[in-house]
Amino acid sequence: MATKKIYLYPLWLRIWHHVNAVLMLSLILTGVSMQYSNPDYPLIRFDIAVSLHNISGILLTLSYFYFFLGILFTSIGRYYVMRSQGFFKSFYLQARYYMFGIFRGEPSPFPVNEERKFNPIQQITYNVIQHAITPVTFITGWALLYPESIILNVFGFSGIMLTSLLHVTAGFFISIFLVIHLYFITVGHSVTSNLKSMVTGYHEIHVEDEAAQEPEENKLAEKPEK
Amino acid sequence: MKKWLSKGWASRLFLLAGLLPLAFALFFSVSADLPENTIDEESQQCLKCHGSHRYQLTDTATGETVTMKMHDELQIDPVEYSKATHGSFKCTDCHSMDYEIHPHPVSTKFEANYSCMDCHGGDETYASFHFETIEEEYLKSVHATELGEEFTCWSCHNPHTYKLSDKQPGTLINRVAQNNSACLNCHGNINNYAVLIEKELPDLIKSHDWLPSQSLHFRKVRCIDCHAATNDSIMVAHLVMPAEQSVRNCVECHSTNSILMGSLYKHQVVEKRNELGFYNGVIMNEAYLIGANRNYYLNVASIVIFIMVLIGIAIHATLRYIHRHRKYGN
């Protein structure tokens, strides 16, 4: 089986990704430890968890802006640009593939190539996690570091409590994302191929995949409308 | 501006909606003030001198008048006194009738001060305050064991300004500040501390430098919440412990079983979980305590979502394995 390698993950991006992953893991573990603190079964000692969480949160904010500049000023930014035209159809095709096609050995409807690193589901998930939910966590996190900046009372509810609730909820969604993201490491050509790509930076395109390299528009046009 | 206002009912509705919370805030802030007691005429005579920094003394024989400085400890703020718990009392209810003579005779110098128990010991009217238990607890406290007779109820509770802090209007933060001011009166004032004990006044910032978010803790929690042993039968703990026995373990407060429920929020605790499902809902009204403000429903929802995701992944992985197994064999 002939394979072609494309360089999709530059070094700066891989370093950011792995640093971000470590920070996220640290934040989730320390966050869960504090949220469910129990004197009898401490996951991480409370004061250590507080310090680690604060340090990781500050570093995550820096990491976010580093990545933001990366997508703004390098060519990888184009992979995150979403097209509104045909979005739902593409989303549906990809979801169908994940739910049924993948078990039948069907080719991926949106295989990876030089111009398309992410399928529509990956694209919207990464955008929402990175540009909506992550900022919510660090903005509310900074506010909780400086609680005097928070409005004390919002219609009878403690402003700090509402901020914390938002912080914890956003953190929960990130932890759900992380679990699914970790599972999707194995959904490559082989179980370890995605993992290898994130280490070496090269994505392997196999001949099997090549068959499906035709543009999506053509593919959609071929299907008869019901 | 006028044009904008006259644009229609929608803009007026928005304006009204914006003003409503303001009206509520004003209403509650005004109605929250405590009523003042009226000071009787006899006491007003006392306050003519004791209510100000200076007083005048007239020699009845010569008619000469001299202006003297009133000692700080003998000054009573009439406004604070009228708002105090004992503010409806006449001065001579607690002090000797000899004070009605001017200048006050020497006998007044030998007057024994009342303590709380002199009036409230065995008092059926205030049985819910458990004054006897408070005294028992106090006698075991570091204040009583270290300082003995030097220390009395009045060392912390100024009889002329004392108010029940849980009945105070305003936010928790004000009540905490008021409560802590009793401690800081000596522990934050080198002169007052030196009067009581021949020991160097410890630097509170340094001795609490282990505490994360120190200023936040100082503003939101009372000193006694960590430094006094809680007793279920009394509202405010009086058994102040030596520094080395105070709370240092974060999770004693930062957990659903927070000790603050038995101390700081004791007077508000009616039920453990309120109707919104928060374990320590009462804390949530005015503060947020990591680890203590968990919501039962959100907890259940998050665990259910997490388990469903894991089950989904397990099913997906199994089906993928079956497909690969069929396609490529072993």
A138 Cα to chain B: minimum distance (Å):
17
At residue B293, does pLDDT exceed 90?
A: no
Q: CB–CB of B291/A35 below 8 Å?
A: yes
B284 Cα to chain A: minimum distance (Å):
6
At residue A1, does pLDDT exceed 60?
A: no
Q: Which domain holds residue B223?
A: 121-248
Same domain, B238 and B323: no
Whether B20 is in a domain gets the answer no
- Residue A130's nearest CA partner among A165, A166, A90, A174 is A174
pLDDT at B21: 46
- Residue B318's nearest CA partner among A176, A110, A183 is A183
**Whether B323 and A164 lie within 8 Å, measured CB to CB:** no
Q: How confident is the model at residue B254 (pLDDT cuts 50, 70, 90)?
A: confident
**Which DSSP string do the residues of B296-321 spell out, in sequence order?**
HHHHHHHHHHHHHHHHHHHHHHHHHH
Whether B29 is in a domain gets the answer no
Same domain, B125 and B201: yes
Whether B18 is in a domain gets the answer no
Q: How confident is the model at residue A19 (pLDDT cuts 50, 70, 90)?
A: very high
Minimum Cα–Cα distance from A166: chain B residue: B298
Which residues of B are less than 8 Å from A47 in CB distance?
212, 250
Same domain, B210 and B270: no
Q: How confident is the model at residue A181 (pLDDT cuts 50, 70, 90)?
A: very high
Q: Which range (A59-63, A211-215, B72-76, B157-161) has the least confidence?
A: A211-215
Residue A202 dihedral angles phi and psi, to the nearest 5°: -100, 135
Higher local confidence (pLDDT), B21 or B208: B208
Give the CA count within 13 Å in the CB-facing half-sphere of B165. Answer: 21
* Integer angstrom CA distances of residue B319 from A106, A109, A140, A184, B307: 14, 19, 40, 14, 18
Domain count for chain A, please give it: 1
At residue A125, does pLDDT exceed 90?
A: yes
pLDDT at B7: 47
CA distance A15 to A198: 10
Q: pLDDT per residue over A106-122, tens digit each?
A: 888 888 877 888 888 99
DSSP summary character for residue A118: S
Residues in chain A: 226
- Residue A178's nearest CA partner among A129, A141, A140 is A129
Q: CB–CB of A138/A60 below 8 Å?
A: yes
Same domain, B314 and B231: no
Q: Which domain holds residue A14?
A: 3-80+93-211
* Integer angstrom CA distances of residue B136 from A9, A27, A36, B163, B280: 72, 47, 37, 22, 30
Whether B38 is in a domain gets the answer yes
**Whether B309 and A179 lie within 8 Å, measured CB to CB:** yes
Whether A108 is in a domain gets the answer yes
Same domain, B96 and B173: no
Residue A128 dihedral angles phi and psi, to the nearest 5°: -65, -45
Tell me the ipTM for this assembly: 0.82
**Whether B316 and A183 lie within 8 Å, measured CB to CB:** yes
CA distance B29 to A134: 38
CB-based contacts of A201, cutoff 8 Å, min separation 6 = A7, A8, A9, A10, A11, A14
Whether B21 is in a domain gets the answer no
CA distance A205 to A6: 8
